Structure 1
Amino acid sequence: MRRLSRRKALSLVKELDAFPKVADSYVETSASGGTVSIIAFSAMAVLAILEFFVYRDTWMKYEYEVDKDFSSKLRINVDVTVAMKCQHVGADILDLAETMITSNGLQYEPVIFELSPQQRLWQRTLRLLQSRLREEHALQEVLYKTLLKGAPTALPPREDAPNEPLNACRIHGHAYVNKVAGNLHITVGKPIHHPQGHAHIAAFVSHEAYNFSHRIDHLSFGEEVPGIINPLDGTEKITYNNNQMYQYFITVVPTKLNTHLISADTHQFSVTERERVINHAAGSHGVSGIFVKYDTSSLMVTVSEQHMALGRFLVRLCGIVGGIFSTTGMLHNLVGFCFDIVCCRFRVGAYRPRQVSPVDSVLDMNTPMDELQLNHLNHHQAPLLVGNAPL
């Protein structure tokens, strides 16, 4: 009984076979079919390999939403070198409502304004990357994918001992401010905080000592992420006028970065630069210095790294193999059909059954004939002639 049930199950499975096998005796091969098969298999292999590389690759997905976090603090990371001595220059941050004035967290370090050969090479490389990023925006996605593999964008230390006098001041560090519009300004004199506002004491600084040539080695907002190149990194401004004002207008966009390597809350920003000479006689009023005016955007961007699912990859792979196989088969049949028409080898009635005459059957030596057919043939054959007389 078990064997009988197994046979019935096996026969049922055979009846459900959707891929019937064709006997080898019914298969006809040709050189053109073999050539097309080789081309089709080669195309399948190449496209399957390329599809595998696409499956291994990832892409960045951008999502936008309203930033509802108003109570948190905004971190500002600063590394600016000014061509003035540290006792003559001061930096502080003032928000729009003037409720927070701070310079805590910023350090002053006497340095040499001129860069060493290796530092100059680093700055040129950074400028080249900045120019490429402005032209090819897709390079930013490459930086997002290789965050931890890249080096920080901070200026490397000098490789030689300084022999020149320290004629510049490096202002670096970070500060936490409210998420409202504010102003980071570096100007002459140390800042003094009082309840009515703030002021810079510049009475003891000679006007000839004013020199706001500066270099921005790093300026970012939010959490510092290694490998990210910000728009103002590597900026250098040289002036020969004592009353020079530099203004940077920045729009900060909160950004959540989620990749396979890191998850961080950082900020992107766009910047507009402006510089002018302070000349009260000509109507150009203001204060000499470096002013970074920033404002936060109400939108938040979420950048996440996406990967192709395994099921989707298998579906695409099956589509490639099946599509090429079907397409090449149809093209081969179409080309053969056209070739038969052009060469006059295609006949409409080639597959109609034809009537075989007795003479044709005699000429076909491969066809066996019985005695009745031979008598019928001899009865209808004409007599053989030798010369002019019949035999």
Structure 2
Amino acid sequence: MMLRKRNINIKVVKELDAFPKIPEDYRKQSAVGGAFSLASFCIIIYLIYAETSYFLDSRLEFKFEPDTEYNSRLQMNIDVTVAMPCSQIGADVVDSTNQNLMTLDTLREEDTWWDLTPDQRAHFEALKHMNSYFREEYHAIHELLWKSNQLTFSNVMPKRTYTPSYPPNACRIYGTLNINKVAGNFHVTCGKSLTLPRGHVHISAFMPEREYNFTHRINRFSFGKPSPGIIHPLEGEEKVTTENAVLFQYFIEVVSTDINMLMYKSKTYQYSVQDHEVKAKLRKGSHAISGIFFNYDTSALKIKVIQERDSICQFLVKLCASIGCIFVTNGLLNNMVQNFWTIFSYKFFQNQEDKSHQKITVNNKANQKIKSINLVNVFTPSSVDNVNIISKPQ
């Protein structure tokens, strides 16, 4: 009731605003300005999307540091199938300290068949193809592998669905060994090993040479724990030979790797390898040895893989700086185009108006000459009586 009785100025209430605004008379609207505003709006939306994607994504940094954990143990994972029965071959791991590590840990041997079932062959061919692709394209997709948080491929061989009718003709050697971080070799050769005070020997004198066959398949050969982003070059390797006495050598360089991701941390190992194949001539008096030798050595350096991301403050500063730069650039370009158009239109249209104005002036002068009055020859009436004089009443 009190508000109804008061005389309230509606105009004052409408103009009441906590945020001052520019009057409509001060605003200059144009098609060019609208186009620049629309383009700036689209660019700002794209920059916001790009900066947000860059912030959510992470970067990988690789550093090399000396490996001071030389007293620690190195885990070696092995799964190798050799085309010879387990009773005819022996496997050992010997390092530069002349220590036979098979006395500490034991690899398991399993009689099997060299020919794979269709499911096993499909699995192994997929492992071989995938590992070959990763080795060739690693430099192009290595960041994706490290950030995937998933293992590249499962190397667990499927079990056999049927048993062949003939006896086993191959031996599967698999397991995990904890070895010293020094140079050594894991080898598979003819005859069972016999440990001696200064080493070991393989007793192969009772085995004929024609039964030698070191055709082999590597289903797993890695160091450390499984980790995303690490490629094991030997997995999926298959060597087939028709020679009886062949020496297969793999020279492996093992590098310790510390992984510090945003979600997890782990320590593992990666390695590079070079292979060499030699035909060993087993003649009388020869010291040539046929078999499969994995010669490994550890690097003095280790790799640290660090996943980094900008902080929220850096993200906001970059975002505000990008948006402010777009606004300033938009204003400068808009003023430049507007000024250029004003100068161009003034010169062009001003010349046209001057020419049209000159034409009009000339025509006016001509008309004045035609319609000019000769004050000398003024016509006067013959008598004054014909002139009616009208006087204004008093």
Q: TM-score, normalised by structure 1?
A: 0.78
Q: Is the 8 A contact 2:147 2:229 kept in 1?
A: no
1:311 and 2:309 matched: no
Deviations 1:45-78 (A, max 9, x none): 0121122111111222212211111221111111
SS at match of 1:297: strand
SS at match of 1:102: helix
- Identify the residue that residue 205 of structure 1 maps to in structure 2: 207
SS at match of 1:177: strand
Q: 1:321: how far off?
A: 1.0
Structure 1, unmatched stretches of 5+, are: 1-18, 349-381
Q: 1:109 to 1:225 in 2, by over 3 A?
A: farther
- Identify the residue that residue 293 of structure 1 maps to in structure 2: 295
1:263 and 2:265 matched: yes
SS at match of 2:232: coil
Q: 1:119 to 1:60 in 2, by over 3 A?
A: farther
- Identify the residue that residue 155 of structure 1 maps to in structure 2: 156
- Identify the residue that residue 240 of structure 1 maps to in structure 2: 242
- Identify the residue that residue 15 of structure 2 maps to in structure 1: none
Q: 1:344: how far off?
A: 5.8
The residue identity in structure 2 corresponding to 1:189 is: G
SS at match of 1:163: coil
Q: 1:100 to 1:163 in 2, by over 3 A?
A: closer
The residue identity in structure 2 corresponding to 1:99 is: Q
Q: Is the 8 A contact 1:73 1:177 kept in 2?
A: yes
Deviations 1:119-161 (A, max 9, x none): 33333333333333333324233222223x3365323313622
Deviates more, 1:37-46 or 1:202-211: 202-211
Q: Is the 8 A contact 1:277 1:284 kept in 2?
A: no
1:218 and 2:220 matched: yes
1:140 and 2:165 matched: no
Q: Distance in 2 between matches of 1:297 and 1:139?
A: 25
Q: 1:219: how far off?
A: 0.9
Q: 1:303: how far off?
A: 1.1
Q: 1:273 to 1:176 in 2, by over 3 A?
A: same
The residue identity in structure 1 corresponding to 2:147 is: K
Structure 2, unmatched stretches of 5+, are: 1-18, 351-367, 379-394
Q: Is the 8 A contact 2:224 2:268 kept in 1?
A: yes
Q: Is the 8 A contact 2:89 2:189 kept in 1?
A: yes
Q: 1:97 to 1:116 in 2, by over 3 A?
A: same
Q: Distance in 2 between matches of 1:93 and 1:116?
A: 31
Q: Is the 8 A contact 1:249 1:293 kept in 2?
A: yes
Q: 1:118 to 1:303 in 2, by over 3 A?
A: same
Q: Is the 8 A contact 1:145 1:261 kept in 2?
A: no
The residue identity in structure 2 corresponding to 1:118 is: D
- Identify the residue that residue 122 of structure 1 maps to in structure 2: 123
List aligned pairs for 1:1-391, cutoff 5 A.
22-102=22-102, 104-133=105-134, 134-147=136-149, 149-150=150-151, 153-158=154-159, 160-165=161-166, 166-225=168-227, 228-279=230-281, 286-340=288-342, 345=347
Q: 1:207 to 1:342 in 2, by over 3 A?
A: farther
The residue identity in structure 1 corresponding to 2:338 is: G
Q: Distance in 1 between matches of 2:251 and 2:31?
A: 72
The residue identity in structure 1 corresponding to 2:29 is: T
Q: Report sequence identity in percent.
A: 39
Q: Distance in 1 between matches of 2:288 and 2:111?
A: 27
How many residue pairs are counted as aligned between the two chains? 338
Q: Distance in 2 between matches of 1:309 and 1:50?
A: 16
Q: Is the 8 A contact 1:153 1:226 kept in 2?
A: no
Q: TM-score, normalised by structure 2?
A: 0.77
Q: Distance in 2 between matches of 1:159 and 1:99?
A: 37
Q: Which has the larger radius of gyration?
A: 2
Q: 1:346: how far off?
A: 8.2
Q: Distance in 2 between matches of 1:40 and 1:278?
A: 74
Q: Distance in 2 between matches of 1:181 and 1:174?
A: 18
Q: Is the 8 A contact 1:101 1:193 kept in 2?
A: no
Q: Distance in 2 between matches of 1:159 and 1:32?
A: 75
SS at match of 1:64: strand
SS at match of 1:216: strand
Deviations 1:347-379 (A, max 9, x none): 99xxxxxxxxxxxxxxxxxxxxxxxxxxxxxxx
CA RMSD of aligned residues (A): 3.0
Q: Distance in 1 between matches of 2:304 and 2:272?
A: 17
Q: 1:188 to 1:226 in 2, by over 3 A?
A: farther
Q: 1:292: how far off?
A: 0.5
Q: 1:151 to 1:204 in 2, by over 3 A?
A: same
SS at match of 1:47: helix
Deviates more, 1:113-122 or 1:296-305: 113-122
Q: Is the 8 A contact 2:66 2:301 kept in 1?
A: yes
